[in-house]
Amino acid sequence: MPLYAAYATTLDPDQMARCAPHSPLWDTGWLEGWRLTFGGGRAQGDGALATVVEDVTSSVFVALYDVTERDLHALDSWEGSDIGLYSRIKVRATTLFNGEVTAWIHILNDYEGGLPSARYLEMIASAAQKAGAPADYVQALRSRPCEPR
């Protein structure tokens, strides 16, 4: 199984330890040519959900995990792919020490658009900070538009 590239709340190492306890952090890096966005509108009741879309002018910070078969189903369930909310695709991630690697991500099975809740956006920013994302990346997350509280 290729590496898993966490980009939203799964950037939080504590969350990953809960939902994939047998899958160690392998490295951090970037999805070059991708942009973090939100979709699904209010269908989930708490604002739009995180996803990524291709965009040659952007990049998304990721934490790369070596997910075991044992943890794969739990992670899919956590992300909602077992109910069709997200799907898995393979992407290329760039790391400082290991160069370019193949990884898989969950992408939202819904249209781009809508705003995340302020709580959800803060969860993503805090997760990115815990994962070691650069301060300017974390600040850009915190300054994104969101639904009012």
- Residues taking part in catalysis: 79
Q: Is 120 annotated as a binding residue?
A: yes
In angstroms, the CA 101 to CA 86 distance is 22
DSSP letters, 93-134, are: EEETTTEEEEEEEEEESS-B---BBHHHHHHHHHHHHHTT--
| Phi, psi of 13, deg, nearest 5 | -60, -30
Residue in this structure with the two tokens 């990884």, named with its chain if needed? 103
How would you class 20 by CB atoms within 10 Å of its CB: exposed for 0-12, middle for 13-18, buried for 19 or more?
Answer: buried
User: Across-strand partners of 36?
Assistant: 52
Binding site, annotated residues for substrate: 120
